[in-house]
Amino acid sequence: MSNNLFSIRLREARLMRKYSMDKLVELADFVVSKQSLSRYERGVMRPHADVLTALANALEVSEEYFFGTNIQIDMPMLRTTSNGKMKENVLVAIESRLSYWAERLLAKEREAGVFIEFKNPMENIHVSSLEDAIQAADLLRQQWHCGDGPIASVLRLFERKGIRIMEANLPADVYGLSTWANKNIPLIVIDTSTNKTTTDRLRFTAAHELAHLLLSFPSDSDLSIEKRCNKFASFFLFPKSTFIDEMGGEHRDKLTLEEMIDLKEVYGVSIAAQVHEAWDLHMISREYYDWWYDKKIKKNLYEKGWGVYAFPETVGKEKRVDARINRSQ
């Protein structure tokens, strides 16, 4: 066990539980001092076996967690979904949080009898083109019986299907991440900070990360993986046929802000995503698409005053699992 790995994992677990150092010392029955705990977290000391056991018990996690052998988190995938924007130490910290959170959540699910074994309905779907992404979005809606209308809460939908979602503060330019635990449990990390994102952006981010988890992306495609995930997200939230129906046809000379605000408030899809979708379907010209972005969207990136999707995007499975466990005690 390296001092650095232990220090990061200890600190992240303590912060996940929102414990001060004094509180953790107390919960560990004072077998360790605050001074020693500080040294552990700075990586200048390693704990003895009895201290390690006491810390694991206090944090309600296995001792294997500190060694990084409790849950196997797919780190290369975690790195890929952020396009390499994060430093290695930040990624290790996020991996530690995921490992801690996933171990405790899975244990609680089994205790409560609500563990869901995930099955990927898109396992053999290869997305090389924009049209592939559109078809994949439609197919997943069929597989998950979503119909062709609005999806009220994508986060709750994902939870019902066995995807575990962790809310966390992420670096400034990162809104979401995704990876696998033990090769068979899909994980999404989402930043729900209201000062960083909007509900429609959050929904798009979640759907984008879903594409990373479920789809296969041949490397010989001319389109980047991120672009294909964006297209999947857009058409999963607002299906092609539905969008055409709502827009009144396959070709438009103009799009009005008022009609797109109305659709945003119903489908939870931003104005920017709607303009993108109209261009993807060649509903509008490239010149008109550029006009919307140059004259409108770039000047109002958070779309203030352009409608609000009122249905809340929240996660709730862990709260319900906790309630079941507490009621049985």
pLDDT along the chain (329 residues), means of 10: 80 96 96 95 93 96 94 86 73 94 95 91 92 97 97 96 94 91 95 91 96 91 88 98 97 97 98 97 97 96 95 93 85
Cβ–Cβ under 8 Å, residues 163 and 210: yes
Quote the pLDDT of residue 1: 47
Widest pairwise Cα distance in the chain: 73
Dig out the tokens for 87 from the structure: 């430093």
How distant, in Å, are the alpha carbons of 119, 152, 288 from that of 255? Answer: 40, 25, 9
Q: What are phi and psi of 165, to 5 degrees?
A: -120, 125
According to the 3-state scheme, what is the secondary structure of 59-105?
A: HCCCCHHHHCCCCCECHHHHHHCCCCCCCHHHHHHHHHHHHHHHHHH
**pTM listed for this prediction:** 0.92
Q: Cα-Cα-Cα-Cα dihedral of 147, 151, 152, 153, to 10°?
A: 130
Q: Given this model, what pLDDT does residue 148 score? A: 97
Interacting residues of 30 by C-beta distance below 8 A, sequence separation 6+ = none
- Nearest alpha carbon to residue 163 among 216, 224, 122: 122
Distant-in-sequence, close-in-space partners of 181: CB < 8 Å, separation ≥ 6: 71, 72, 73, 74, 98, 99, 102, 106, 164, 187
DSSP state of 316: -
